[in-house]
Chains A and B, each alone.
Chain A
Amino acid sequence: MIPVLAAFAGGLTAQTIEQNARRVLDANCNACHGATAMSGLDLRTREAALKGGSRGPAVVPGNPSASLIYQAVLRQGDLKMPPGKQALSAADAATLKSWIEGGAAFTAPAAAAEPTWWSFKKPRRPAIPGSASANPIDALLKTAAPAADRRTLIRRATFDLHGLPPTPAETAAFVNDPDPKAYEKLVARLLGSPRYGERWGRLWLDVVRYADTGGYETDVLFPNAWRYRDYVIRSFNQDKPYDVFVQEQIAADEIWPDNLELDGSYDLPESKKKNLERRIGTSLYTLAAMPVEYSFFGDQLRAEWQAESVETTAAAFLGLTFNCARCHDHKFDPISQKDFYRLSAFFAGSEEREVPIVSQMRIFEYTRFQTKQVHVDDLRARYNGLKPGDKDGRETLLRQIGEAYVKTPRMYDKATLLVHTAPVPDTHVLQRGDWKNRGEKVLPGTPAALGPSPEIVEPPGNLFITQRRRALAQWLTSREHPLTARVMVNRIWQSHFGRGLAGTPNDFGRQGEAPTNPELLDWLAVEFMDRGWSMKEMHRQILMSSAYQARRRPQRIDAESIRDAVLAVSGTLNPDMYGPPVVTPLSEDEEDGMRDMSMWPITPDETQHDRRSIYMFVKRSFRLPMLDTFDAPDTSQSCARRDTSTVAPQALALMNSEWMSRQSARFAASLAKASDPVGEAWRRALARDPSGDERARAQSFLKESSLQRLCLMLFNMSEFIYVD
């Protein structure tokens, strides 16, 4: 085969051969072996190609079989290029062969690096086929399916946007609304409700591996993590533009600098409050799982923190997996180990700190009560010094400690944020990721494959306050960036359709799945930016498409929606928003596997236990069993997509757990006065009336069993946790 092609190629001019070879190299090799110079190999000039990379010369002019590049594309040895499943075509391989045979000429300069991988190219607005009045999403999808009925639609949209079922009144109002714009009004109502932020905030918390504790043996409490959770909920509810949302989380302190100093007033001025709120976004970088107990050195913890910051930034905002590049060049994507550390250098000079978020006056007020704290400490010391067996002394002191403690004012509010350190520590490439093994010193920079790096001008010496994260945030949110908008609209699409247009939302690289409809993904990305990065606008666009309103396969709701729906249908959901995490009681059996119950401080106010799942305590070493069994995310890394497993322990949890038994009793109690308990139960749980057959079955069930058991059965129905 190859000799024939080679003979054919032999008829071409040297210039054509070079042009063809250049085309093959540009399309297949230069993304990694151009400016990124993976493994040290740069194929843009003859000189660099002859010199080669870490494996030696890539091209031996006149001798294809001795040229590494040719051996690699033939995939006969250890080295198989391009990486991944797709080998070079025989024709392209033959082109390279004849080019090398002819002396590997590089007469023209290499074309300006034009990315070849789909996700590294800037999204462009595609032409919309068909009539101008058609919904662009439908026009680009080119599919038509019959529309779902209104009951299905309101249930679908309410679960999608609120993570809750519609109430019977809401369902009836929508189903019977004669207005042709009824659906549009429904979408607007759902997007305007604060329940929206609680649902979509939870989806974002998956992406940023949110938890209230640090994991591992110590599993330290993050006392202010919940402020970040609340910030996320508020951001979604305010429809904060996504570019601003990104900027705040990465660099609010640098973009909206403000001091928190005394200004004479008790309450902070609005401007300070606003900037503080933005800065709570940076808590994102203070929530990582951290093996505190085996990090004995400041440098080690810092290296861990910087690396984790890169991995989370890459997964959440870039939709790329950088983890591999911590130890070596990425094997599939044009991300070198140096790129990893250049990206990590954006975070050098920053560290987390717990800071007051109240005025200096309030801090002063607190410190005046310092003596009371000292008194408590004194009493504690005396208690610890008691002789064993001194029962009376113990009781007296315990009472005194309790009284003194109650009189001591609570600590003022704090948040854990990113702040700056000076001098700014140098960042080095760490050989094999080992913090002790420092290699080349690097400055902040973004991967060459993603276009030009932002320019950062820093004064000489290390005694400056960095503006590095600001540069990173602005680079990420530039309209020129190929990934940021695409990655987010894909997440939004996934949460509405159960699957992203690109099936691997945290991996837009070569190991990920290519988008099923790249034009639509591009259209959504450009539209997203054109509409001011408004997430609510994207929901509206998607929900108004016929594709969304079509009949579709049922999808299981997620763990939090199941728990919240049970509470909502039982009529016991406590709608309070925000605040410190709620710790719910566990059954005795559930406590198995808990390391230490003292690390599970149950919230005393029982009404709090019925709040939405997003407000529940997220403990890295122990997930709430009810949520765990329905595939709540492991919070050690960014979660791009939930599994939906179907296993027997789910059935056992829904049928037999104490919690379900209690909720079904409350559901039944709330139906006691209803004139038609069966119909009302159906309407609340399933947003529809029971059919005649169903009603008859339910009535005969009630004869043998109880209303509570009927309620429990409703919670166990597939229809309850699947949405059409």
Chain B
Amino acid sequence: MSTDPRRINPDEALRISRRQLLSSALGFPALAAAAVTDPLAPRKPPLAATAKNVIFLFMHGGPSHLETFDPKPALNELSGKLVPPSFGHVQLQFSKFNEQPIIGCRRTFRKHGHAGLEVSDIFPNVARRADDIAVIRSMYHDGFTHTAALNYLNNGWPRLGRPSLGSWIVYGLGSECQNLPAFVVMLDGGIKSGPPAYGAGFLPAVYQGTTLREGASPILNLKPPRGVGESDQRTMLESLRWFNEQHLASHAGETELEARISSYELAFRMQTAAPELADLSRETAATRKLYGLDQEHTSAFGGKCLMARRLVERGVRFVQVWSGGTTGEGDWDGHKQCDKNHVKMAAKTDQPVAALLEDLKARGLLESTLVIWGGEFGRTPTSDGSLNGGGDSEGRDHNPYGFTIWMAGGGVKGGKVIGRTDEIGLRAIEDPIHVHDLHASILHFLGMDHTKLTYPFQGRDFRLTDVHGSIDLAKRLMA
């Protein structure tokens, strides 16, 4: 019998009572008993961990690596020409790769920090954090549409039905914070792949992400309907507790009913904790300014980044902050004027992202918080002309074959670059890192072995990384 608490059949575990478990001769460790009564109880990671929490800054739509962190001078030399056949062919969603001209890059790259990390001029503030950041230029997968790619990055698999990264992590580690959800998502409009991006898939629903908004009612149904005051709410909760305890008394030992009574207490604590969390006026003027809350273009994303810091401060395990959405004000999907689009999106996010890194570091939180920046794919060196009826619109198509993400904190040694794409930034050709490797490495930072974090479903022990994944990336980022 394995001693890993996550190897017990969790479907069962949620049902076995603590008493049954402790009296059983199966010899599960005490940790498992805690997991039985509360699936969100904090669990010690099985391996040494360098990170406790994760903040994933998700640039929805697919930010161009070519305009951000992966300079390719050849693009300007070849601008307007077709791709030389030596680069081979790739399948794209909107354009025929070998029939579209290469688009030059209008950005200027400069070296930053001790290590001379190259960052484009659309990110002047992030560039100042260059020594905290490790850039991975050789990400790849094969999902060239948004949904397939979003599913890859968020769920480890291009198809529907798999649990999200955050839900796997919370399933593995539980939560340090009992007054707030363990896995929090801040959206910027809808996601093209929908709520499955933060769903629990086949894991119990308790592990799914909770969306958090700014304002007085940051969580769905957090506040009673209009006209119901706090004292009305407390009166009902007190009576309800009495009735539910009467009911429990006639069903002694039913842990599910006990858990239900606790869930009302948690709900009530959340009613206090969540508005307190979302109340950014409690931050100093300097902090608010740092995140750009005083400027119109940065205040929305800045507020989310500041909230992300407040969340990890309170022990929330996994925070995902989205930039761009289907119902918001645009996203990073750089069709038509990719450069202009990115200048606009970067202006909204650059200062807040840099502020988050700086603030986390100043508070000593960066050491234990893994920060990830990236989107579902990068963009092609070529025009997506077929989409817009001509090659002159300077739009770039989706490119999952080579793209960039960066990571900071949580054990990552900054100021380094991993991997390389070819001369035109089409494919990852040196140290290619698949999404499975990224996920395996994220779990490794958190002290979990991606081959052991499993859940039985449909006759198989499923993993976030399916049957793939390597932690070499994590090892190199830590070195």
Contact = CB atoms under 8 A, between A and B. Distances in A.
Interface of A: 215-217, 219, 289, 291, 293-294, 296, 315, 320-321, 323-324, 332-333, 504, 506-507, 509, 511-512, 553-554, 556, 589-590, 592-597, 620-623, 625, 628-629, 631, 634, 636-637, 640, 643-653, 655-658, 661, 693-694, 697, 701, 704-705, 709, 712-713, 716-719, 722, 724
Nearest to B143: A294
Contacts of A712: 236
Q: Which 6 A-B pairs have the closest CB atoms?
A: A621-B194, A321-B459, A636-B161, A636-B160, A651-B267, A217-B147
B196 interface: yes
Contacts of A643: 11, 14, 204-205
B202 to A, nearest CB: 7
Nearest to A632: B205
A650 B256 contact: no
Interface string B183-196: 00001001111111
B451 to A, nearest CB: 15
A589 B158 contact: no
A697 B243 contact: yes
Contacts of B282: none
B224 A655 contact: yes
Interface residues of B, number: 72
Contacts of B205: 628-629, 631, 643, 645, 647
B108 interface: no
Contacts of B158: 291, 294
B371 interface: no
Contacts of B225: 656, 658, 661
A658 B228 CA distance: 12
Interface stretch (B76-84, B258-266, B356-364): B258-266
A718 B257 contact: yes
Contact of A656 (B221, B254, B257): B221
25 contacts: A216-B148, A291-B147, A294-B145, A296-B91, A324-B459, A554-B256, A593-B187, A594-B190, A595-B327, A596-B327, A628-B205, A637-B458, A645-B39, A645-B204, A645-B206, A651-B260, A652-B219, A656-B222, A701-B236, A705-B236, A716-B236, A717-B243, A718-B261, A719-B243, A722-B257
Contacts of A509: 459
Most chain B CB neighbours (cut-off 10 Å) among A323, A324, A589, A658:
A589
B191 A634 contact: no
Contact of B148 (A294, A590, A629): A294
B374 to A, nearest CB: 19
A504 B459 contact: yes
Given A217-B146, A637-B161, A713 B263 contact: no
B69 interface: no
Given A289-B160, A321-B460, A595 B191 contact: yes
A668 B80 CA distance: 72
B177 interface: no
Interface in B427-479: 456, 458-460
Contacts of A637: 161, 458
Interface in B172-222: 181, 187, 190-196, 199, 201-202, 204-206, 210-211, 213, 217, 219-222
A643 B171 CA distance: 15
A652 B458 contact: no
Contacts of A717: 240, 243-244, 247
B14 to A, nearest CB: 8
Contact of B192 (A595, A620, A634): A595
Contact of A648 (B146, B148, B224, B267): B267
A293 B263 contact: no
Given A593-B190, A716-B240, A717-B240, A651 B264 contact: yes
B314 to A, nearest CB: 15
A511 B459 contact: yes
B223 interface: yes
B145 A596 contact: no
A502 to B, nearest CB: 12
B224 to A, nearest CB: 5
Contacts of A657: 221
A693 B256 CA distance: 24
A217 B248 contact: no
Nearest to B149: A294
B242 interface: yes
A507 B147 contact: no
Nearest to B39: A645
A511 B456 contact: yes
Contacts of A215: 160
B93 interface: yes
Contacts of A722: 247, 257
Contacts of A320: 459
Contacts of A625: 220
